Structure 1
Amino acid sequence: MRTCGSAVVAADGGLLGLLGLLVAADVVIPGIDLTGFYGLVPLLASATSSTLVTVVAGFAAVAAAVASGAWDRWFDTGQHVAAGVLVAVQGAVAIYVAVTRRRRERELGRARAVAEVAQRALLPVVPAAVDGIAFAARYLSATAETLVGGDLYEVVTVSGGTRMIIGDVKGKGLPAVRLTTVVLGAFREGAVHYPEIERVAAACARAVSREAGAEDFVTALLVDIEPDGTLRMISAGHPPPILLSGDSARPLAIIEPSPPLGIAEDFTATISSWGLGDRLLLFTDGLIEARDSNRTFFSLEDHFSELAAATLDTVLDALVAHLHGHVGGNLHDDLALLIAERLPAPGRMIAVSGGLPVSAPESAISVGQGE
């Protein structure tokens, strides 16, 4: 905060320094008239500084324009009056721009605060671990001004294990967000009420069919993790998870993939397993379909070795950094990442709140966006 404040003060001082430079050049260099350029200073201030600084710069520019008659020897001439009026008009325009900009910044700030609350409600903070499984997650929106998009993930613990979903809603904007809430609501309810993961997927599909438009659908990957390490997976048009076991990494084959939710109604689970210390990476296609300026896809395989080399949060941060480097910092699609690790021994959930561990019940636990 102190560094930011110093930078603002330096910028404001630079604007007044620019005005002083223009005045000095007008006085020293014979045969030129720079009075009309004084109004550029408040215009620049309106784009970068506060309204108060813009007002000060505007009055200073007008005062300098009036005083310029002393060294240009044109007091009371029509040219002097015209130059003063021009600078005054520029100052007034600058103040109007500054007031409008600050109002829109406040409105954007309020909108972002509302969006952040909505994001927290839609995808709550990831707990560090639950039922012997550690988690971390990241969510990146393709639109810089928004925090909420059409990708989703969730984790729910039940008496027979832990259930995860990651999905991608077709489309963007508020319709995609609405369909995201529909899928998450159906998953949260179905995961608790249905013992079979196939019925949970069917419940999500029915919810999408009720609410989606004729061309809308949701790709999703559902994973049921049993206490003995058995994995039951359903892919509804979604990329398979990556299993990181020791020094090896490979996609887990889905034997009978299904069409996306909203198109398919029946689902068949693929059975697999993971061992103690293994990791499972779930992701949306915003990762593997990201392209650079040469239209080359991001290669997840090139970063497999890094996915088991550090803590879960560090792994995801590094993966996101590689992705930003590949696309030049501009994502063209939303991205959700969820990584899970089977801990050596089952443990009660430890959630992080304000940097301090706190206990939580072992009932249904929602998992969402990481910090």
Structure 2
Amino acid sequence: MAEKALLGPKPGLRPGWARLPVRARHLLVGAFALLAAAAVVDLVTGPASTVSPALAAIPVLAGAVTRSVKVPLIAGAFAAACVGLLALANRAVPADVHVAALIAVLAVTLASAANVVLVLARERELLQVRTVSEAAQRALLRPVAGRVGPLRVAVRYVAAAAEARIGGDLYDLLDTPYGIRILLGDVQGKGLAAVETAADVLGVFRDTARTEPDLARVAERLDAALARRPGGERFVTAVLLTVPHLADQPAEVVNCGHPPPLLRRGGRVEAVEPPSFAPPLSLLGLTGGHYRAGPLDLRPGDLLLLYTDGVSEARDREGRFYPLPERLAALPAQDPDGVLDQLLADVVGYVPDGLTDDAALLVFRREP
């Protein structure tokens, strides 16, 4: 398949413990261990002191690792039983201390259970919003064939795991009389407003790509259409390409403020830098210039990757950006589908808690 949608974990669909970041799991395990150690110390230090009030933390910790209301209730019952055992073991401690500890445990247990109910309701709401938003966006992103003229193509759209709002990543590929026209872009902002802007960009592109012979003019018409939109303060970074059907003709690329495509040839990867700076779509009027198309030498066997910053700006635990050119060069896969499968698996392993921004990737290889 040329196109796959890889969705990040949805709110409410995973167990509470599984959804937690690794660091949070370690901290919670440490908290449970600390309480267990305190209870043991209490039992062995004699009847004159007690730590029973600290047991009120047990249902709180239990509620943090679950999406089941029963769990904090069971944990609260266990904590209440522990308070009773410590009361028997520490008879020298005034009874009102143990009673106060028991009341605290019961009150915190009920509050923890109520908090789980509220979190569940919120996550279901976010899931519904995200599902509707994703459906709206995917209705715009038409399936891309695995083979278009001389190109073998693969596309992936990856939804971020961190938020219920989607981004405005977009892509399209059209076989036109002027060659194969390709667009990949990223709308500023997130949510349905970004999807609406993406719809406008794709609509204009699908029209002008088939009727406008000059690729730079296609970009300028996209810019003008966005600038005329009511409330058109949103901009779109984008890369446009024309790949001719004949291998002896150079391809063209227009970069509108977007991360540069990466060309892999013979195990080496180079960034396809634009001939000059160009602003994102809808901002060209601020510079008073024009978009320029630069030539791109594409040979049989070359592989070109277009991507949004959801991948290139993914970070590891130390905050370092994902080294996309180096990782792309090291991938053993040669076909576009295999390249994207391996690349995304590598990104997932690099980012500890999932992507924080949506990502679109389009890769193609020129066949002989």
In structure 2, the CA distance between the partners of 1:147 and 1:157, relative to structure 1 (3 Å rule), is: farther
**Aligned partners of 2:269, 2:42: CA distance in 1, in Å?**
70
In structure 2, the CA distance between the partners of 1:247 and 1:204, relative to structure 1 (3 Å rule), is: same
Deviations 1:171-196 (A, max 9, x none): 55554443223212221233344455
Q: Is 319-328 or 35-44 further displaced after alignment?
A: 319-328
Query: Which of 315, 329, 334 is the aligned partner of 1:310?
Result: 334
- Tell me, yes or no, if structure 1 residue 35 matches structure 2 residue 79: no
Counterpart in 1 of 2:141? Answer: 123
**Aligned partners of 1:26, 1:292: CA distance in 2, in Å?**
42
Deviations 1:313-369 (A, max 9, x none): 44345555666788877878765432111234xxxxxxxxxxxxxxxxxxxxxxxxx
**Aligned partners of 1:78, 1:177: CA distance in 2, in Å?**
61
Could you tell me which runs of 5 or more consecutive residues in structure 1 were left unpaired when the two chains were aligned: 345-371
**TM-score, structure 2 normalization:** 0.70
Counterpart in 1 of 2:21? Answer: none
Q: SS at 2:254's partner residue?
A: strand
The one-letter amino acid paired with 2:263 is L
**Aligned partners of 1:227, 1:295: CA distance in 2, in Å?**
42
**Aligned partners of 1:26, 1:300: CA distance in 2, in Å?**
54
Could you tell me which runs of 5 or more consecutive residues in structure 2 were left unpaired when the two chains were aligned: 1-13, 19-24, 26-30
Query: Does structure 2 conserve the Cα–Cα contact (< 8 Å) formed by 1:55 and 1:91?
Result: yes
Offset of 1:279 from its aligned partner?
1.6
Offset of 1:165 from its aligned partner?
0.7
Query: Which of 167, 170, 175 is the aligned partner of 1:152?
Result: 170
**How many residue pairs align between the two structures?**
338
Counterpart in 2 of 1:260? Answer: 280
**Aligned partners of 1:162, 1:309: CA distance in 2, in Å?**
24
What is the CA RMSD across the aligned residues, in angstroms? 4.5
**Aligned partners of 1:112, 1:282: CA distance in 2, in Å?**
25
- Tell me, yes or no, if structure 1 residue 243 matches structure 2 residue 263: yes
In structure 2, the CA distance between the partners of 1:82 and 1:122, relative to structure 1 (3 Å rule), is: same
**Aligned partners of 1:252, 1:115: CA distance in 2, in Å?**
33
Query: Does structure 2 conserve the Cα–Cα contact (< 8 Å) formed by 1:234 and 1:270?
Result: yes
**Aligned partners of 2:39, 2:273: CA distance in 1, in Å?**
73
- Tell me, yes or no, if structure 1 residue 58 matches structure 2 residue 76: yes
Query: Does structure 1 conserve the Cα–Cα contact (< 8 Å) formed by 2:126 and 2:164?
Result: no
Q: Is 230-239 or 135-144 further displaced after alignment?
A: 135-144
Counterpart in 1 of 2:299? Answer: 275
**TM-score, structure 1 normalization:** 0.69
Offset of 1:22 from its aligned partner?
7.2
**Aligned partners of 1:216, 1:333: CA distance in 2, in Å?**
17
Q: SS at 2:362's partner residue?
A: strand
**Aligned partners of 1:124, 1:187: CA distance in 2, in Å?**
13
**Aligned partners of 1:292, 1:91: CA distance in 2, in Å?**
37
